[in-house]
Homo-oligomer: A and B are copies of this chain.
Amino acid sequence: MGSSGAGELNSPAAAEDAQLREHTLASEQVYLGHFLDVRRDQVRLPDGATATREYIVHPGAVMIVPLLDDGRLVVERQWRYPLARAMVEFPAGKIDAGEAPLQCGIRELAEETGYRAAEWARAGILHNAIAYSNEGIEVWFARGLTLGDRHLDAGEFLEVGSATLDELNDQVRRGELTDAKTLVGLLWLQHWRAGHWPLEWRSVP
């Protein structure tokens, strides 16, 4: 297969993807813990061969980019055990069973930071570990923030602060801010502020 343009790569003709598609032959749950649900599937490859695919089944999550009235952003600092360090990130959390993404965003923002937002806008979704997880993280913007009480989950410890976009960009450049979802939030923020990627705001009572 040769080189082709990006248009071709996204053409309707490519939607079938017979030349790429993997078909499920069998699926097995190989681990179910408190948090992780691990599957191992047997698949048929485009050339008819078989292969194994292992992946996490995840309920999805919502990240909030919280815009303070003075232009600063609300950020958190939280211990991330797999990386053995605290990380700066935008508020985020897993979607509960049956919960709409916006409701999840409202709940997580309040629980983790104490902020409520008058207006919300959905920017998009990101997929953060496409090789081994079906997790999607919805990216929502929130503005018209007012501070109330926060209610962390039991066993949840995090610091809340604020920063300007320039400060966060500097942290990225220096290698101090490396959380992928937060970096994607900065990408959206940059393009929204530049007027390139519009947001549709909705009021939340």
Q: Name the CB-closest residue of B to A147.
A: B3
The yes or no answer to A151 lying at the interface (CB within 8 A) is: no
Q: Mark A73-92, 1 if CB is under 8 A from B, else 0.
A: 00101111111011111000
A-B contact pairs, 13 of them (CB 8 A): A3-B147, A3-B160, A6-B161, A6-B164, A6-B168, A22-B81, A53-B82, A56-B82, A82-B133, A129-B135, A129-B180, A173-B196, A183-B187
Q: Given A30-B31, A159-B20, is A178 in contact with B6 using a C-beta cutoff of 8 Å?
A: no
User: Are B183 and A126 touching (Cβ within 8 A)?
Assistant: yes
Q: Which residues of A contact B (CB under 8 A)?
A: 1-10, 14, 17, 19-22, 30-31, 33-36, 38, 40-41, 43, 45-47, 49, 51-56, 75, 77-83, 85-89, 124-137, 147, 154-155, 157-164, 167-169, 171-173, 175-176, 178-181, 183-184, 186-187, 190-191, 196-197
Contact of A173 among B31, B77, B179, B191 (CB under 8 A): B191
